[in-house]
Amino acid sequence: MATKQDVKVLGWSASPFVARARIALNLKGIEYEFLNEDLGRKSDLLLKSNPVYKKVPVLFHGGKPVCESLLIVQYIDEVWADSGLPILPADAYDRAVARFWAAYIDDKLPNQTPVLLGEADEATKAEALQQMSAALQQLEEVFEKCSEGKSFFGGDTIGYVDISLGSYLGWMKAMEKIAGIKLLDEEKIPRLVKWAERFCSSDAVKEVIPEVDQLVEFSNVLRAAFNAAASPSN
């Protein structure tokens, strides 16, 4: 089994993408060291280990960097195949389906987040809310089909699609509080709401996803920093 000295995750705790790597490692029972990246400053380690995109997370295994959150989750599942439970399905077709829906999640959800958290006009925010709600309703149908009546997209245990979508749950709840909207609506997506409760109560997850108030405060800091950067200097 890998030791804490062999495995490190570089990132910041509020990032849903960083959460993916940490949840996957927790599911596999792999000890790791978390290296906190300062917000607003790209460290030399980040620039050296991810020179193309210059983004977190970065997984270090035996000193070698692996970048991009979904690729990191796949890497963890393959390298530690004999640890914990599988994250990706064993069947090739099911793996392709899981990867498709993970890509769908990243295509539909992140782009609307800054709009709903920012200072866009009401029409723009309404459009972003409509698009995110439509995506969640689509995922409600996907969950019903993929779970086959079980607890998670991956069946009885948390899998690839669960990690992909579940990493956004903290920010969804923060958006609800900040923007006064309803995303996790029991009337529209009852299965996903119950799934979210199960996901967040998992031991592999609950210490990784920040509390809503922490994310609200973090959002305020981000907004203030952005406004300060956009203001003309005196």
Enumerate domains of the chain plus CATH numbers.
7-79 (3.40.30.10), 92-214 (1.20.1050.10)
The pair of structure tokens assigned to 178 is 């900040």
Buried b (16+ CB within 10 A) or exposed e, 196-231: beebeebebbeebbbebeebbebbeebeeeeeeeee
Instruction: Report, as an integer, the average pLDDT of 93-104.
Output: 97
Q: Judge whether residue 23 has pLDDT over 80.
A: yes
Q: Is the pLDDT of residue 209 over 60?
A: yes
In angstroms, the CA 195 to CA 4 distance is 31
In the chain, pLDDT over 70 holds for what percent of residues? Answer: 93
Q: What is the mean pLDDT of residues 97-124?
A: 92
Q: Indicate if the pLDDT at residue 201 is higher than 70.
A: yes
234: confidence class by pLDDT, cuts 50, 70, 90: very low
Res. 120: pLDDT tops 90:
no
Report the pLDDT value the prediction gives residue 2, as an integer from 0 to 100.
Answer: 66
Contact 63, 33 (CB under 8 A): no
- What is the reported pTM? 0.93
- pLDDT tier at 108, thresholds 50, 70, 90: very high
Query: What pLDDT is stored for residue 26 in this prediction?
Result: 98
The answer to whether the CB of 47 falls within 8 A of the CB of 54 is yes
Which ranges constitute the DSSP H helices of the chain? 16-28, 44-49, 69-79, 92-108, 113-117, 122-147, 160-166, 169-179, 190-200, 212-230
Q: What is the pLDDT of residues 26-46, one digit of tens each?
A: 999 999 999 999 877 899 999
- pLDDT tier at 232 (50, 70, 90 boundaries)? low
pLDDT band of 4, cuts 50, 70, 90: low
Question: DSSP class of residue 112?
Answer: G
- For residue 7, give the nearest of 15, 16, 39, 28 by alpha carbon: 28
